[in-house]
A and B are shown apart, each in its own frame.
Chain A
Amino acid sequence: MSMTDNASNITGPGPAVQMEGVHKWFDQFHVLKDINLTVSNGERVVICGPSGSGKSTLIRCVNRLEAHQRGQIFVEGTEITNDVKHIDTIRREVGMVFQQFNLFPHMTVLENCTIALTKVRRMPKAEADKVAMEYLERVRIPEQAQKFPGQLSGGQQQRVAIARALCMRPRIMLFDEPTSALDPEMIKEVLDVMVDLAESGMTMMVVTHEMGFAREVADRMVFMDEGEIIEVAPPSVFFSNPASDRTKLFLSQILDH
């Protein structure tokens, strides 16, 4: 059950994601402040920080669900600008998994997975079905293909959402708190799939509070607070010997339970 296909896609030379002096405002509210972060190909970066610190906003800037106002963001060498062509190119390289799954309730699991293949990639339906089934098998729910999202458990829905994103064969996957909306007993099945994906060599940016997962897969930890990146460190250092007091405070709070 490896996902080596994805790994073989990763051939780009430069960094996967490069953010240079990125600022963003919501009206008057300065939500991202001078973000500098480079994610190499195949690297797994876990982003954590208190609620409202700008974690979601940061990763949403990577596929232009949010627009930044200052600085530069490059994805696989393409700069994100207002140019729709660039945005399309980037979204083809980047898959995203949301906290609330955001599956399309009026479509079956299979249709959820094939819609972008057939409409964006213009792939014939039979071929798209095959690709979708392949990824549904990898997230271990091929038998649910004909059901509607509303008939699945939260954990199953989130695995469908992962399969749906993988169908487009992205080089980079963004996860925004993928397990926060799940009942405890379902968190593991989703994390297992993500660990698999990480082992396949996928470039990943993951916002999560699952510190066990972070320890296992992260190459680097990013700690954010109030719109700034406070600390970046490999997990071994980050958890045992954090540099900043804010990180320490946050870790003590989050590792309590």
Chain B
Amino acid sequence: MTEAKTYTPGQHPNLPPPPNMVGSMAWLRDNLFSSWTNGALTFLSAALLIFIVPPVLDWAFLNATFSGESRDACAAATGACWAVITARFDQFVYGLYPSEATWRINIAFVGLLIAVTPWLAPRVPFKKAFVIFSLAYPLLALWLLAGGLGLEPVYTGRWGGFMLTLVIGVTGIVASLPLGIMLALGRQSDLPIVHTLSVTFIEVVRGVPLIMFLFMASNMLNLFLPQGVTFDLLMRALIAVTLFSAAYLAEVVRGGLQAIPKGQLEAAQAMGLNYWQAMAYIILPQALRTVIPGIVNSFIALFKDTSLVAIIGLFDLLNMAKAIVTDVTWQGLSIEVYVFSAFIYWIVCFGMSRYSIWLEGRLGGGIEGTR
């Protein structure tokens, strides 16, 4: 029994918590052994980890081979044959892009990092210069990647690997967000034509698989184009992916728009802001903020869906991996190749996910969080 010491009212000091509330033993008890079932689960999980982790480490690192000219280099080792990755690294990254021109991709990639900075970072110095650069970036990237105007032209059929995945993913993300916002606004519009067109587009696109879209883009588009007009296959894929993603984003954004009280628009209108000004400065900043997780979720889905372009014969990261797997020099290494590709997708998607969590925390925890 603890002796209940009494103090005169108003004189009670701050006492340390009782010992069973703090320390590593308390943590263990609260989190791992709080009940019999929890304790049993803890042991089961520990056993699983012991069974799984060492063999995986063995395979992936300890007994793995990291370099070599062909599969024979790995014959002696029991672990993964990462040699295929190092040997074919350029194809994973650049596809069939001419090796003397891959520096252009590298520059474009660095440019991409610079171009996204002002949109992702809350405060950067020289923001205006950054923004101007990122508005000009699409043209710059197109020039670097496709060539022309003094650069050796590189036909899009030779684009491939991670670079192609990134091109489709980034273009899709950048183009589908504004389009999705317009569709969401259109769906809320009082103008019957705009409303009907938006709803029709959204519902039709959401009701059709992306693969079917890609098939149609690669085969059927010719039916509608005049004889002799060709339309770049990659361009078609970009359009298909963008339209598809925009329909989903439109619904996410609509959810955000609905969360904004009607009084916000009324206040903006009463002050003389027109519809577009009210949307741009008052409604959308609030609406988009509330649906950041949904938007990023759509972006992640889009990025993974880029792998579907393999179906229409583009050599994105996954299709490139598939091609490398069938190479006789590296036969039978599908696990290594696919694990590596999966890892790349994972890094990008995980990065986006972490970024969204960080952004939410920053905006939600910020002083403007309360309404």
B150 at the interface (CB under 8 A from A): no
CB distance from B330 to the nearest CB of A (A): 54
A123 at the interface (CB under 8 A from B): no
Interface of chain A residues 91 through 145 with chain B (CB within 8 A):
91-92, 94-96, 98, 100, 102-107, 115-116, 119-120
B contact residues around A255 at 8 Å (CB): none
B contact residues around A151 at 8 Å (CB): 367, 370
B23 at the interface (CB under 8 A from A): no
Q: Give the residue of A91, A98, A147, A150 whose beta carbon is less than 8 angstroms from that of B272.
A: A91
Contact (Cβ within 8 A) B371 A150 = yes
When C-beta atoms are compared, the residue in chain B nearest to A119 turns out to be B277
Most A-side CB within 10 Å, residue of B261, B267, B269, B270: B270
A77 to B273, alpha carbons, bound, how many Å?
22
Contact (Cβ within 8 A) A98 B267 = yes
B contact residues around A96 at 8 Å (CB): 267, 270
Q: Give the residue of A106, A119, A120, A168 whose beta carbon is less than 8 angstroms from that of B289.
A: A106
Given A88-B272, A88-B274, A91-B272: A104 and B267 interface contact (C-beta under 8 Å): yes
Contact (Cβ within 8 A) A91 B271 = yes
At the interface, is chain B mostly helix, strand, loop or mixed?
A: helix
A contact residues around B264 at 8 Å (CB): 102, 104
Contact (Cβ within 8 A) A105 B286 = yes
A153 to B110, alpha carbons, bound, how many Å?
48
Contact (Cβ within 8 A) A98 B263 = yes
A contact residues around B154 at 8 Å (CB): none
Q: Please, what's the 1-or-0 string for B349-371, where 1 marks a CB less than 8 Å from any CB in chain A? A: 00000000000000000011111
A52 to B370, alpha carbons, bound, how many Å?
30
Contact (Cβ within 8 A) A115 B272 = no
B contact residues around A23 at 8 Å (CB): none
B103 at the interface (CB under 8 A from A): no
B contact residues around A116 at 8 Å (CB): 271-273
A84 to B276, alpha carbons, bound, how many Å?
13
B281 at the interface (CB under 8 A from A): yes
Contact (Cβ within 8 A) A150 B271 = no
When C-beta atoms are compared, the residue in chain A nearest to B264 turns out to be A102
Interface of chain A residues 57 through 101 with chain B (CB within 8 A):
63, 65, 84, 88, 91-92, 94-96, 98, 100
A contact residues around B233 at 8 Å (CB): none
- 8 residue pairs from A and B, CB less than 8 Å apart: A84-B274, A91-B271, A92-B272, A102-B261, A116-B273, A120-B271, A149-B371, A164-B271
The 7 A-B residue pairs whose C-beta atoms are closest, nearest first, are A150-B370, A102-B267, A102-B263, A116-B271, A96-B270, A120-B272, A105-B371
Given A98-B267, A104-B267, A115-B282, 10 further pairs, Cβ under 8 A: A84-B274, A88-B274, A92-B272, A98-B266, A103-B267, A105-B286, A116-B273, A119-B281, A120-B272, A164-B271
